[in-house]
Amino acid sequence: MARLFGTDGVREIANTRLSPELAFVLGRVGTGIIARRLGTRPTVIVGRDTRLSGDMLEAAVVAGIASVGGYAVNTGIIPTPGVAFLVRDLQADAGIIISASHNPMEYNGIKFISGDGFKLSDKEELEIEKHVISHEKGRLCFDTSDVFPRPSGNDVGRVFQLEDAGERYIRHAKSTVSVTMEGLKVVVDCANGAASSYTPRLLQDLGADVIAINDKPDGTNINVNCGSTYPGIVSEVVVETGADVGLAHDGDADRLIAVDERGCVVDGDHIMAICGLDLLRKGMLPHNTIVATVYSNLGLSRTFAREGGKVVITQNGDRYVLEQMRKLGVILGGEQSGHIIFLDRNTTGDGIITALALLSVLRTTGGRLSELASWMEVYPQVLMNVRVSNKQKLSSNSAIDRAIERAEALISKEGRIFVRPSGTEPLVRILGEGPEESVVRTAVSEVARVIQEELG
């Protein structure tokens, strides 16, 4: 049966399934639920990235908020973590982010932030969903019932523009560092997204020599062959210009992938290793623990264990990382893709604050980024995606189970095989990892072959 919310809010091609009508209803229902709980008019912070469809969806969401008597506070274009910060800074009741993160420009998304600055739980999203849609006949459609009030006259909601939204967030980001960036030459790939007006300026304010690329968004070029999913672009510029480091964001700047002075990629696992080990060695890492996902390199866990630390593994998705972090009382966690959460500095993945944390370690240690990246040993990883006709049958196929067992025996105890269906596509993902890449590739290829034969 179809679902409205995915792993990171509602995300679809804009003006098709994610229509302005749906955006209006989401704004209305989300605000209506908060109003019912609080017994007063909610204040909702609304921010977006640079996509062409952002204006349209923003107008619809804001209208939905006002239709139920809420106060909408528009920030304009701002990184996703900026909305999470502003919700807390302004003591608002919720936030709504209009962004599809790293996805192509034709997509857009709507995700909610609760009053404490965290993304909504699955349970809270389901509460919104049950008021928005009907599951009749196994498909999504608008529910014709409307249980929330429609105030009139003086009780209609209002819309405000927060003129200093960006300045507030920049001041907060600056407050997380205590070192100057003078003498550092930094290339920043803004992905033609929300970071374009933020990261280059912030680093310049801190004294860095900044070369900004892909920092001229036109509504259509967000994430197009640039940013954190195309780190080769920033890598080339780092080498050409002799820069010390390269930084690449995604469209809404909640991710960071770095590049060292040689042009080599420093992914989210390496960033967690660098920042986490620095905190661990200073005695500033609570419980000597960080949180990572099943896709993180085994070398991350081995590296922390070697120095008396621990890596707790959770399922893929930054919301699950955050859930585990809060449960354990730790301040650092993230994903290999560059979603890094510093829970003592913000309540969500924050590519800008992560960049500042990484550069701070670079400055205080006096080393090069390539040297810092070498702190973490790396196991060869092989990832294959197999397109299948029915991914639900994966868990009940004995031939596939036997193939996985053979692969595990081939890789040995020093490695692993991880097989799971994609959450959104008709794919089965196979991740293999171990000391010898050729052996891992053979094992993964054999599992992929059997899956294709059984489910293709």
Which bin fits 101, alpha (ψ -120 to 50), beta or left (φ > 0)?
A: left
Q: How far apart are the first and last CA of the chain?
A: 22
In the residue annotation, 114 being an active-site residue is answered as no
- The Cα 203–Cα 198 span in angstroms is 9
Which residues sit opposite 387 in a β-bridge?
427
SS3 401: helix
Q: Which of 101, 228, 337, 360 is catalytic?
A: 101
Number of helices (H), then strands (E), belonging to the chain: the values are 14, 20
- The Cα 214–Cα 209 span in angstroms is 17
Q: Is the separation of the CB atoms in 253 and 80 below 8 Å?
A: yes
Residue the block writes with tokens 């020093």: 414
How far does Cα 86 stand from its chain's mean position?
18
Residue the block writes with tokens 């060869």: 380
Residue the block writes with tokens 């996985």: 404
Length, in residues, of the chain: 456
Q: What type of residue sits at position 439?
A: V
- The Cα 351–Cα 341 span in angstroms is 9
How far does Cα 100 stand from its chain's mean position?
10
> Residue by residue, what is the 3-state secondary structure of 197-223?
HCHHHHHHHCCCEEEEECCCCCCCCCC
Which of 82, 15, 7 minimizes the C-alpha distance to 51? 15
CA 350, 356, 362, 364 dihedral sign is negative
Token pair for 265: 């990629």
Catalytic center residues:
101
